[in-house]
Structure 1
Amino acid sequence: MDASDLAATLRDDHETAFSRLGSSKAMYAITNGEMDGGIVRAAAAINADAISTVTDEWSDNNISDTDGHVDEIDETDPDAVFALIATDAGKRAMDLNPDISQKEAVSRPRLYDVLESMETIASRLGGLLARSLMTIEQVSQMVGFFIGNADTKTANEFRDLKRMIESDRDRILTALNSTCESDTAWEDAQNSADAVIEAAYDEYVDSLEQMGIKPKNVC
C-alpha cells in the first residue's frame, strides 16, 4: 500500500459518507438549517482553528520567523508537516475572521476530539488525510454556496482555501509514504482515518436528525 492507495480505499469504503458530507445538505447540517453566509464562514474558521491547534500540539517545530514567513520544509518529515499545517491553518482562521456571534452558532466538529486522541505518527497522518479529504469536499460545497448567493468575491476566497487544503493533503500523502514502512503502520493509518470519517458522518447524521430530517433520504 502507498498513500494514494489509502486515499482511494477510504473513498471506496466510505462512499456514502463522502457523498453526503460533500452534498448541499451538509451545508444545512453545518449551519443548523440557517444557510447563512456568515455562519458558513464561521464554520470554516472554526475548522481551520481546530486543525491548527491539534497539529501545533503534535509538533515540536517552529518553522516560521518573527514575520510569520515559512521557509521550505522537508515534506517527508511528519513533524515539519504538522508544524506547517498548524501555521498555515492558524493564518486561515484569522483571515476568515467571522463575527463572534456567528462563531458561537457553530460548535467545533467532533472529529477533532478523535484526532487529538491519536498517539502514533502513522495514526495522526492517517487521521489528517481523512480530515483533508472530507474538508476539500466540504469547502467545495461552500464555494457553491457563495456562487449561489451571487457572492463572487467570497466564492473566490473559498476557492483559495480549497487549494490550500489540497496542498495540505499532498504534503500528508508524502509524509505517509515516508513514514509507513510496514503493514502495521498502514493499518494504523487506515484505522485512524476510518475513525475520523465515522465521527464526521455520525455528527452529520445527528445534526440532521435533530432538525427532523432523515439522513437516509438525503444524498
Structure 2
Amino acid sequence: MDPAQFRDRVADAKRTELDRLGSGKLLIALTEADLTDDAVLAAAADRYHAAGELLAAWADDEADADAASTFADLAERAADGYERVAAARDGHDPGPPGPVYEHLRDLSGTVERAAGLVGHGLLADRVTLQFVSYFVNEADEARADLFRERRTDAADATDAAAGLVTDRCAGSAADDAADVASAVVDVAYREYADSLRDLGMDPKPIC
C-alpha cells in the first residue's frame, strides 16, 4: 500500500462523516453560529495554534529521526499558519485545544501518531475549504488566498504522514493504523454533531 492508497482508504471509510464535516454547517458549529470574520478567523487560529503545539511536542520526543524531522517541519508550517491567521485578525489569544487535539495528544508511537495525523489532515482539508468559501463569499480574496495556502499545507501534511505510516507497516499493522486515523475523524464528527444539536440543528443533511 502506498501513501495515497492509505489516505484514500481512510477517506473512503469515513466518507459520510467527512462529507458532513465539509458542509456549510461546519462554520456554524465552529463559531457557535457567529458567522463573522472575527469569529471565523479566531476558530481557524485556534486550530493552527493547537496543531503547531502538538506537532512540536511530538517532534521533541520522537525517537525515529525521519519522523521527528517530519513532525518538526509540519510544526513550523502550522506555527506560520497560526501567525498569519492571527495577523489577519489583528491579534489572537489562543483558546484551549478542542477534543480532536486532546485525542491526538494521547497517541503514542511513530505509526500511531502518523496515522492520527492522516485523519487530522483529511479533516483539515474539509475545514480549510470552508474557510476559503467563507471569504470568497465575503469578496475577501486576500483572506481566501491565505486559507488556500493553508489547504495546501494540510494536503502536504497528510501525504507526509501517510508516507510515514506506509514506510513502517503493512498487513494487519496497516489495518490498525487506518483505524487510528478513522478514530480521529470520529472524534471531530461527534464534536461537530454535538455543537449543532446544542444550537437546535440536525447534523445530517436535509435531502
TM-score (norm 2): 0.89
Q: Which runs of 5+ in 2 are unaligned?
A: none
- Tell me which residue corresponds to 2:35: 35
Q: Secondary structure at the match of 1:188?
A: helix
Q: Deviations over 1:100-148 (max 9, x none)?
A: 6x767x7633111111111121110110011011111111111111111
Q: CA RMSD in A?
A: 2.1
Aligned match for 2:200, one of 193, 200, 212: 212
Aligned counterparts, 1:70-219, within 5 A: 77-97=66-86, 98=89, 108-180=97-169, 182-218=170-206
| One-letter amino acid matched to 1:108 | P
Which residue is equivalent to 1:67? none
Hey, which of these two has a bigger chunk of helix by percent? 2
Question: Displacement, 1:214?
Answer: 1.4
Say which SS state the counterpart of residue 113 (structure 1) adopts.
Answer: helix
Superposition deviation, residue 17 in structure 1: 0.7
1:176 positional shift: 2.0
Question: Could you tell me which amino acid in structure 2 is paired with residue 44 of structure 1?
Answer: A
Deviation at 1:149, TM superposition (A): 0.9
Distance 2:117 2:110 in 1: 10
TM-score, normalised relative to structure 1 = 0.84
Choose 14-23 or 91-100, whichever is displaced more: 91-100
Check whether the contact 1:122–1:188 (CA below 8 A) recurs between aligned residues: no
* Aligned AA (1:195): A
Q: Percent identity?
A: 29
**Count of residue pairs the alignment pairs up:** 202
1:59-70 maps to which residues of 2 (within 5 A)? 59-60=59-60
Q: Which amino acid aligns with 1:212?
A: G
Alpha-carbon distance in structure 2 between the residues aligned to 1:187 and 1:163: 27
**Deviation (angstroms), 1:218:** 5.0
- Per the alignment, residue 23 of structure 1 pairs with 23
8 Å contact from structure 2 (residues 120, 184) kept in 1: yes
Deviation at 1:183, TM superposition (A): 2.4
- CA distance in 1 between partners of 2:42 and 2:144 (Å): 15
Aligned-partner residue type, residue 125 of structure 1: A
The separation in 2 between residues aligned to 1:184 and 1:120, in whole angstroms, is: 16
Distance 1:46 1:188 in 2: 30
